[in-house]
Structure 1
Amino acid sequence: MKHIAALSLAGTLLAACATPAADPAPEAPMASPVAPEADEAPQAKVAPGEFDYESVFGQDDRPEQDYEMYPVRKSAEVLAFSGIMPGMTVVEMEAGDGFYTELFSRVAGPDGKVYMQNPPSFKAFLGDSVSKRVDGRLLNVQIVESAFDNLSNVPDADADIVTWFLGPHELWYTPKGEPEGVLGDPDMTFDEIARVLKPGGHLVVLDHMAPAGSPPTTGGETHRIDKAVIIALAEDHGLSLTDESDLLANPDDDGTVQVFDPTVRRKTDRFLLKFAK
């Protein structure tokens, strides 16, 4: 059940998860790259009646480093696969500094809403990057600081889409100096995801691939996860796999090296899945 996004976007590298290897966490912004010229913006092709995803990549007051990362992360294709449309409510799990929040906010528009979720412990490395991106700019974004298994700020059946990019493996990771399980219990987390999704809503998951058969605890070691673990969790909580893309696949990555290793950083093999409630 493969989905090949029919979009054109420059870039050959893949984005990396999280923070420095000493204490892994979601990706921090890169230092001050130069933004591309207007004609270098991602060229996302859309069919009549669909949203013009290209429109949300225009150069403006967002952090300049975003523009260099769009082709690296194949962001236009990922947006199209996710299916976010104007007026939708999106719950963004583990949003980090808001790289994708920016895009979700602009697609959802004034009639939509984005819940930008991060665990409280992420403040240590995110600093003021979230407030700088959101405050006074992204007016349809609500910041949520909570563990993954406690989305109490989000009402039942409120979300059209829940996204979780480069993060599900964190359910088996314990930040340095914190108690085990502080980020969230896997079963309770997927209970919450199912609770906040509307009937017919979708969960979109992107993560680093671990070898088939790897135990879930691999998530806390190499920061990868066997996609079968995520599929099983989702299905056990009433979600059905409806689509899959090899957009971010890399057959040259065997899935055994930690994602922060220079040999694979930003080039890991990644899975991209969509589930329906």
Structure 2
Amino acid sequence: MTRSILTGAASLLILAACASHTDSDLPPAEAPPPPAFAESAADEAAINAAIVSPARPETDVERDELRKPGAVIEFMQLQPGETVLEMEAGSGYFTEIFSQYLGDKGTLYMQNPAAFDAFLGETAVDRAARLDNVEYIKSDFDEIPLEDASVDVVTWFQGPHELWYTPEGGGKLVGNAEASFPELMRVLKPGGQLVIIDHTAPAGTPESSGGDTHRIDPQIIRDTASDAGFVLIAESDLYDNPDDDLDASVFDEKVRGMTDQFLMKFEKPAARPE
């Protein structure tokens, strides 16, 4: 189920009017304002074609039940032909599907930090090389080599918690946490969207959980995105799992692959006319 989140200004104005007028002197009712984000539905036929594509590796297909790619794209309302930046794409499970779905007119930037080379090897680079509409980007999260306002959608799946991972010996693994969300704001077009999935930590858990259990309190992500200027417009319970031990590491065999995860969609506010 998806929960859409709209600004409360219109509701507050209506409540104020109700407090100061009787029914007899209220003006005629007006239709509510449209939502701040596009309502265009994803292309169901294109989603299905991307998921059943024979070009997909069997090892990817085996993960579909857990990753639920069709439902994620529907939640995103992603459109064929758009330009997408896939942050921390890993070996490219979603890259393959996004590439097929976006089609020849779409562009997909597959991003990973250089620090991931140690365990990814050439798997991500090789996948990007055989997908015509995919360009591989190796960069930190706070320095994306793309032009301002050049991307329709940014995805960051199962990765934002990495911003608060501190390796042994100190320092950050993948860039500046405070600068990373503003960098995503920079590359997005006005009205563009940021879609995030991550492993859930209990409410009130400190940021350090990103390096301890590789989970994060969803409120930390909401606050970090808001501080960068994003507006939260929808959340989904797609990956809810009430049986998950939220204090367990995501690599613990008792929860691995079955963690409770949050799915959120943020919007970069459209530029206001002068």
TM norm. shorter chain > 0.5: yes
Paired residue total: 232
Letter paired with 1:108: L
Give the structure 2 partner of residue 157 of structure 1: 149
The alpha-carbon distance between structure 1 residues 254 and 218, as it changes in their structure 2 partners (threshold 3 A), is: same
* TM-score, with structure 2 as normaliser: 0.80
Q: TM-score of the superposition, structure 1-length normalised?
A: 0.80
5 Å-filtered alignment, 1:102-181, equals: 102-135=96-129, 137-151=130-144, 153-175=145-167, 180-181=171-172
Show the counterpart of 1:183.
174
Query: For structure 2, which runs of at least 5 residues remain unmatched after alignment?
Result: 4-39, 269-274
Judge conservation of contact 1:84–1:104 (CA < 8 Å) in 2.
Answer: no
Query: 4+ residue runs of structure 1 moved beyond 4 angstroms?
Result: none
Q: 1:30-57 CA deviation, whole Å, 9 max, x = no partner? A: xxxxxxxxxxxxxxxxx98834211101
Identity of aligned residues (%): 48
Number of the residue aligned with 2:267: 276
Return closer, same or farther for 1:92/1:176 CA change in 2, 3 Å cut-off: farther
| Amino acid of the structure 2 residue aligned with 1:260 | F
Does residue 251 (structure 1) correspond to residue 242 (structure 2)? The answer is: yes
User: CA 1:107/1:226 → structure 2, altered by over 3 Å: closer, same or farther?
Assistant: same
Equivalent residue, structure 1, for 2:66: 72
SS in 2 for 1:216: coil
CA distance in 1, matches of 2:206, 2:42: 43
Query: Which stretch of structure 1 is more off in the superposition, 55-64 or 81-90?
Result: 55-64
| Matching residue's letter, 1:126 | L
Name the CA distance, whole Å, in 2 between partners of 1:49 and 1:258. 34
> Do residues 241 (structure 1) and 235 (structure 2) align?
no
Q: How does 1:211-250 map to 2 (within 5 A)?
A: 211-250=202-241
Q: Could you tell me how far apart the structure 1 residues matched to 2:80 and 2:159 are?
A: 25
Distance in 1 (alpha carbons) for counterparts of 2:61 and 2:113: 26
Q: Distance in 2 between matches of 1:155 and 1:129?
A: 27
Q: Structure 1: state its 5+ residue gaps.
A: 5-46
Q: In proportion to residue count, which structure has more helix?
A: 2
DSSP-derived class of the 2:208 partner: helix
Specify which structure has the bigger relative contact order, considering alpha-carbon pairs within 8 angstroms and separated by 6 or more residues. Answer: 1
Specify the SS of the correspondent of 2:253: coil
